[in-house]
Copies of this chain bind each other. A is one copy, B any other.
């Protein structure tokens, strides 16, 4: 197990130790834990005020707190600008990603015309198609299926049973959770008079660098052009991205969001769980969308929206509060 001194921890997170009497270079830290579970060799953190009461009881060696926090009361703290970010950095220190081992399991089916960098790791029963390329440092989990002509960059991690269909492109440091499907057919049909005629979906899916796709999330391939998930986007589990969608860089979506076809979403957006948008819309940069919202028209950049149909969040707060007063309103009306 990795271990570092409290002093080194403070340096790593750019923090200032307070309320600590001993020698910070001598105190060995072996990990991070919650306030209630941390022991005297572990760091804890307070990133959500909800948990402030647990501070007094913690056994942690020190607590990562905000610069603005009150003086520590009988416990050691490390003051940082962003305790949550500091926590993230420490977790990454104590739990680094494993390097790719270069081992390909005997049961994996790798097409002779696939080109894998020397250290690429391939799990049991994975299938890698014709003319696939995979960059160095990448790990392909057990049972993954990589279709023909797929391109996967460096240091990617595909968890067990991810699927990447033919011709799709993954940049560097792309993570797919289990059951993610990249490159399913878009949902396109034309009514012939007798049946829904399937329209071949001939676009690809492009996942740029540093994208993560959640478990059982589906990204449909484009009808003609590509579906594009720009760099740094993080999609939680069970999200549906329809064909021809573009999701702007660093946008984050919580679980079970659904984006309909040909909608363009800006950079740095944040969508709550179970939100959805209609097709062919433009959602501006930095839009925040509350959970369960339903968007039926373009949304301006920088706004916060909620409700079905989605409206400015401030308005939704009023409207939803007044919905609760409808009985009162109705009664007043009837009594007149």
Contacts and interface: CB of A to CB of B under 8 A. Distances in A.
Interface of A: 32-34, 37, 48, 50, 82, 84-85, 87-89, 91-92, 94-95, 97, 105, 107, 109, 123-125, 127, 129, 141-143, 145, 147, 159-161, 163, 165, 175, 177-179, 181, 184-185, 187-192, 195-200, 202, 210, 212, 214-216, 218, 220, 224-225, 232, 234, 236-238, 240, 242, 250, 252, 254-256, 258, 260, 273-274, 276, 278, 280, 291-292, 294, 308-309, 311, 315, 318-320, 322-327, 329-330, 332-333, 336
Contacts of A87: 190, 199
A267 to B, nearest CB: 12
Contact of A107 (B109, B147, B220): B109
Nearest to A322: B326
B189 A252 contact: yes
Copies in the complex: 3
B177 A184 contact: yes
Query: Which 5 pairs across A and B sit closest by C-beta, in order of nearness?
Result: A88-B190, A184-B215, A95-B200, A322-B326, A85-B190
A258 B256 contact: yes
A264 B195 CA distance: 21
A301 B280 CA distance: 29
Contacts of A323: 319, 323, 326
B197 A34 contact: no
A178 B178 contact: no
